[in-house]
Structure 1
């Protein structure tokens, strides 16, 4: 059997784009015996109040003489999010604000399985200059882009993006579990002062390229030192303060769940994009409550690994999307 190439991706390609709840595996690079990871986005511009007029970017790759969506391979030392924004910048020159994780496509390429994760990405700056990888970009309505795109798999991704555009998020919460800290059993002082360990400090640094592409506007943290130090590097990078509120922590959840829920929803009501760094007991319960009271049933177990992130999308006060990224550490 002849080896398949990038241009053959419709031959045996599969899509995993169903549902507004998406999760990235802890080790996506191990999903297949030989996995080639890539990441990209449906680049868009316009006004979500008029979805039919939104324009999306179709790129022309001279190497393949095709029209496709912007994406590229993950480099060593990168997360999927970091790879997506880097590849978009290199290929198109555009800066983007990432939104909803749409899912992934999978297809064989030569002797590997290529797995491509896609987000929505609003263009917020930059300028296209033709290059060796991309020599032309066409901005088209979604209907026109479907006609131009070469591959059915890309059309499926675009169709999924259209569904997300029809229910736009008025707020997103990047809900972070604090990074790994020194073991509780080996810490004799005030538990709120228990610091991050070496891996935890690395996780906190890697959260910067993981979360900055979502363009957070404000950062909140539970009281423990390990929570606000987890998001301190991101705050420094973005020039934002960290607002510490005990109601985002485990102890407050045990004492007064109603108050904790109200604190969370106060942030949702602000709109835009916010970061909340919390703890491992409160987070699954809070997400389950949001699911039960919103428009997004989550039937699977709600995982919250240390340093992991849930990107929670809201329409008004209703949860409408949930994407889990279990680690900001490099996938390769």
Structure 2
């Protein structure tokens, strides 16, 4: 996208692009370097209502007095933040609402002065809080999606709402946060039982940073494969949420190798519990299980299924079938 010093935030439709197509969304390894001068931001389509009745769903339309426009809640990334962390912080600061993140809808891209602004949007169910007018947002209107599209100032925001409506019409009855363990000490330098190989310094930091990134999805339960590095990866999150870690050999590489069908059934048992579950696993299991879910679900995945250390796949299911997948490559700050 070329440089254009005449374009500002309120001109974002002029040369904007929307990348909100498809139920498979992948954040780049280093999103801040996607363009020469990138400004990263994140937000959400705030919603309330009952997903079993699409007519009951209302979304939040945000009025910004500084621009005199109607848009979606969003804001720029602060240092030390991952994109989901930015989304929930900015929403709380702008609107006073606490949200539970859901599906990553994609991103919009547009030039602002000599930079390229990239905004990632999730769905965000309001679970608490209260709006009070402030300098950034002086009014919020809760409207059905069709009316919200009419009031929005920008076409890019309307397209995000169109994508959100599609997700609401096929809602997630369960969601899995499928985490690969954080960076551990090198296998070649570890003489003991491989299951006892612990996290190294970077891995411990990754584990700590997973807490603010995963907590906004509202996990109900946490599972881990047997290796200590898997359990150590999720220990800070479990401590923060006050949840026990359920250890199951079938959810790791050894379980997959020993009994493929049993490993697949163990994963589906978690899916069928409903709600949001965390599963911490390993580099062999994660791509294999996701490929199997894709082949037997409603979401074709015909690209390489990545699983970097401490990465997260946010998998959405409708009545046991895979319907959406979002890849978050790292919990570490994006700037």
TM-score (normalised: structure 1)? 0.99
Partner of 1:82: 85
Partner of 2:151: 148
User: Separation in 2 of the partners of 1:299 and 1:15?
Assistant: 22
Give distance in 2, aligned partners of 1:220 and 1:20. Answer: 25
Tell me how far 1:252 sits from its aligned partner: 1.2
Q: State the shift of 1:255 in Å.
A: 1.0
The total of aligned residue pairs comes to 332
Shift of 1:2: 4.7
1:56 matched to 2:59? The reply is: yes
* Runs of 5+ consecutive residues of structure 2 not aligned to the other structure: none
Q: Partner residue of 1:223?
A: 226
Give the aligned partner of residue 241 of structure 2. Answer: 238
Q: Hey, what's the Cα distance between the residues in 2 that align with 1:220 and 1:50?
A: 32
Q: Does structure 1 conserve the Cα–Cα contact (< 8 Å) formed by 2:5 and 2:114?
A: no
Tell me which stretches of 4 or more aligned residues in structure 1 moved more than 2 Å: none
Indicate yes or no: 2:103 matched with 1:100: yes
What is the RMSD of the two structures over their aligned residues, measured on CA atoms? 0.6
Contact 2:5 2:112 in 1 (8 A): no
Q: Deviations over 1:109-144 (max 9, x none)?
A: 011000000000000000001100000100000011
Does 1:299 find its partner at 2:302? Answer: yes
Q: Offset of 1:29 from its aligned partner?
A: 0.2
What is the 5 A alignment of 1:153-172? 153-172=156-175
Q: Which residue number corresponds to residue 329 of structure 1? A: 332
SS in 1 for 2:60: strand
Match of 1:18 among 3, 18, 21: 21
Q: How far does the alpha carbon of each residue in 1:120-173 deviate from its partner, in whole angstroms, 9 at most, with x for none?
A: 000000000110000010000001101111000000000000000000000000
Q: CA deviation at 1:49?
A: 1.3
Match of 1:274 in 2: 277
Find the counterpart in structure 1 of residue 141 from structure 2: 138
SS of the equivalent of 1:72 reads: strand
- Counterpart for residue 256 of structure 2: 253
Q: Which runs of 5+ in 1 are unaligned?
A: none
- Counterpart CA distance in 1 for 2:196 and 2:258 is 20
Structure 2 counterpart of 1:178? 181
The equivalent residue for 2:199 is: 196
Tell me the alpha carbon deviations over residues 262-286 of structure 1, each in whole angstroms, 9 at most, x when there is no partner: 0000000000000000000011000
> Within 1, Cα distance between the matches of 2:77 and 2:127?
23
Q: 1:12-41: CA deviations, max 9, x gaps? A: 000000100000001000000000000000
Q: What do residues 76-100 of structure 1 show as CA deviations (whole Å, max 9, x unaligned)?
A: 1100000000000000000000000
Q: TM-score w.r.t. structure 2 length?
A: 0.98
**Counterpart in the other structure of 1:42:** 45
Aligned to 2:32: 29
Q: Distance in 2 between matches of 1:52 and 1:61?
A: 27
Give the equivalent residue in structure 2 for 1:208. 211
User: Deviations for 1:246-303, whole angstroms, at most 9, x for unmatched residues?
Assistant: 0011111111100000000000000000000000001100000000000000011000
